[in-house]
Every structure is written in C-alpha cells, then in structure tokens.
Amino acid sequence: MNAIPGLADDATVIARLLEHIDGRTTDLGDETWREPVAHYRSTERFEAERVAMRRVPLAFCPSGALPQAGCWLARESAGTPLVAVRGDDRRVRVFRNACRHRGAQLVSGSGCQRAFACRFHGWTYALDGSLRHVPHEHGFPGLDKEKRGLAEVPSTETQGVVFVTQEASGEDAAASLAALPPLVPERFRLVGSRESEQPVNWKLVVEGFLEGYHIKATHPKTFYPIQYDNTNVVERFGPHNRVAFPYQSIERQRGLAPGERSADGALTYVYHLFPWAIVATFPGRIVMATLEPLAVDRVRQLAFTFTDRPEGDAEAESFLARGLDLVDAGTAEDNEVAALVQRGLGSGANEFLEFGRFESAIVHFHRRLRETLGEAA
C-alpha cells in the first residue's frame, strides 16, 4: 500500500517507527481532549448521531462480499434496513430493504439469487430493483410498475468497499471518497465473515482500534509479546485515520534499503473510515469490520476476513488460522475492557473521559463527530 495521496509510503512509516523504537517515543498529537460521559449514555445523543450519519458516506460492506451478479448482503446502516446487490452489469446498487406493496423486509443475511420475491404476497423485483411481477395484477388498477421499484439510496463502490449515503447525492458522496487509499485490493479473496454484539456504546469500540497506549496493559499475552507498547505512527486523511502498529519483526527492516522495505509482516495498518468502520492489515490477510449501533449501550459488529494466500495451500491455511486465533483472542480482550468502561460510565466517578496526546486519532474522531453533529468542538 504505497504511493497513497496524503499518506506516507511504507518505507517512510517504517523509518518513523524505527526512530520511535530507538528513542522510546511515539507520535504525539497537538492537544488533549475531554469527551463528556453523557455522550456515551444519552439516548438523545445516540439518536442524533444516527440521524447525522445518514448524511455522510458510510462503509456498508466490502466489494468482495458481492463477488458476482445476484450476490446480495442485507444489514442496517445508521438504523435503516438496506440491501446491497450486484447487478448483471456488475454495478452494486443499494436499496431500502422493504417491499413497495405492504413494506415487508425482503431479505436478511446474505445470499445469491436472480430476483427478490416478497414472501408476503410475492411481489418480485429484478437485480436492478425494478418491479417485475405482481401476482393478480388486475387487482391494482392504475399501478405504474415503472415507479414502484425498490427505493434506491446513493452508493459508491471504491477501493474495495461499498459506501452508502442515505441523505446526500451520489455525486457528493463520490467526491468525498475520491482520496481514499486502496483498502481491499482485488487480489484478496473473502474467506469468512462473522457477526457479534457487544453491550457497549459504539464509540468505545471505535476508540479501541485507534491507539497503542493500551497494548501492554490490555494484551499482555496476545499482542504485546509480538508488538510494542505505545509506539505508533498516526496519520489523518480527511475525516479518517490511519494508525501503524509495529511488530517486533520490524527489526529485520533495518538492513534494507528504503525501496526494499515493506509493511507486510512488519506492521499492522488500521484504517479508520469515519465514523464506524475499520480496515486492518495483517500478514497475508485483511480484516474489515463495520458497526451497526443498535442502542446507546449496544452495538453489532460485522467482520469480513480476506487473504491473498493461495486456496488449498495447507501451510498457508494453517498460518492464517493461527493468526486469526491471535486476533480473536486480542479482540475478546478489547471487548472485555470496553464492557468495563461501559459499566464504569454509570458509576458517577467521571464527568468526562480524558484522551491524551498519545490518543490523537481518537481526538480527531471526536472532533469530526462533533462537526458532523453541528456541535461546538
């Protein structure tokens, strides 16, 4: 992932990380931040966040989840049931997940089929959303099928991710996404997906991805033995963040010329796609996670795993399985700590959460969130 506009190339990031390791330093932000506890517990604030996020491009799913015509994926985005489907023209379209007759949700989960038939009365829609069949159509005099197709929302497919923008034009959304770096290259194939729920505010999940200050304390037997505590390179691109987490194997890069240095096997890049999606790189694989905030204290996470290792290679599959076990164990630790924070928010001990200069990506996230909500920063 080199030559990305607005972001440093691998060699530059590796050089900066090695300087931090030698100097026992890390990237520092220009300011600290205090985020009111009420912003994690207020139902009114939660609803305002979901409404505001319908006006910005949200990462809906990876392109690889829709590999061929007829493949679809249904989920909620900012509280709205939607379904994305790849058409015969290879274009991905995103529709409101409701029949235009009596409003029943058409599908759930994911699948691959040639049309969508409502299980209530059988109204049937083509992959492009057009209404193709109405049983006993004579009972609906004056029905204009051309105007009763599925309700489409603006969407953009770019850099391996499908984005939706419910309350803005597709042109505006595409322009705002033009500077995104490659996120899930085409050579990576989908090898698995999973869904989980946590009893926490969605912002606590996002925050856990955006700093390395917690590595030693939270992950003493998982990530810390192979990484470094509080050693990161932090970059911003638009409303988004990229945080580089080095492995101890980065030491092997010291003897290489800058042009020979590679992030693969030396570090993890965590791309935070504002507001609530994460793309993380690991040796031989990429994980994309996107959130569905369900309530002020409940969030659903959808995670998709991709690899560029050859299919059917037993050694590669064993390597990926070991890596996935490690990531799963570390993720479980993050979830446990997030739940501890959620419970602690109700103690009355704190009026705000304190974010220091080591946590500048979180500061950028909260500043952008307040701007989106129209609040004073």
* Contact indicator for 243, 263 with CB cutoff of 8 Å: no
Alpha-carbon gap, residue 124 to 220, rounded angstroms: 54
Domain ranges across the chain? 10-54+185-373, 58-176
Q: Average the pLDDT over each of 4-8, 32-36, 108-112 and give the range with the smallest value.
A: 4-8
d(CA 234, CA 270): 10
Percent of the chain with pLDDT over 90: 89
H helix or E strand, kind and range, residue 17: helix 10-23
Closest to 20 in 3D by CA, of 345, 375, 309, 267: 267
Q: How many angstroms separate the CA atoms of 81 and 194, rounded?
A: 19
Q: CA-CA distance, 34 to 353, in Å (whole number)?
A: 6
Q: Whole-prediction pTM value?
A: 0.95
Structure tokens at 269: 């890049």
**Which amino acid is located at 287 in the chain?**
V
Distance in angstroms (rounded) separating the CA atoms of residues 343 and 300: 18
**How does pLDDT run across 154-164, given as a tens digit for each residue?**
999 999 999 99
Supply the CATH classification number for the domain 58-176: 2.102.10.10
- Listing DSSP states for 170-232 in one string gives HHHHHHHTTTPPP-S-TT-EEEEEEEEEESS-HHHHHHHHS-STTHHHH-TTTTTTTB-TT--
Count Cβ atoms below 10 Å from residue 58 Cβ, excluding itself. 25
In the predicted structure, residue 172 carries a pLDDT above the cut 70: no
- Residue 197 CA to residue 283 CA, distance in Å, equals 26
Please choose, from the candidates 34, 36, 33, the residue with its C-alpha nearest in 3D space to the C-alpha of residue 45.
36
Q: 75-86, pLDDT tens digit by residue?
A: 999 999 999 999
Mean pLDDT along residues 312-328: 85
Query: Which CATH entry fits the domain spanning 10-54+185-373: 3.30.70.3040, 1.10.760.10, 3.40.50.720, 3.90.380.10?
Result: 3.90.380.10
* C-alpha dihedral, 129 to 131 to 132 to 133, nearest 10°: 140
How far apart are the C-alpha atoms of 270 and 207, rounded to whole Å?
12
When pLDDT is averaged across residues 289-295 and rounded to a whole number, the result is 97
For residue 75, give the H/E element and its range: strand 71-77
Q: Model confidence over 242-288: pLDDT tens digits?
A: 999 999 999 999 999 999 999 999 999 999 999 999 999 999 999 99
Torsional class of 7: left (φ above 0), alpha (ψ -120 to 50), beta (otherwise):
beta
Residue that has been written with the tokens 């925050």 in this structure: 207
What's the pLDDT tens digit per position in 173-196?
Answer: 677 788 899 999 999 999 999 999
Is 306 or 322 the better-scoring residue by pLDDT? 306
Write the Ramachandran bin of 322: left for phi over 0, alpha for psi from -120 to 50, otherwise beta. alpha
Give the CA dihedral 320, 322, 325, 326, nearest 10 degrees. -100
What pLDDT does residue 85 have? 98
| Residue keyed to tokens 């998709």 | 304
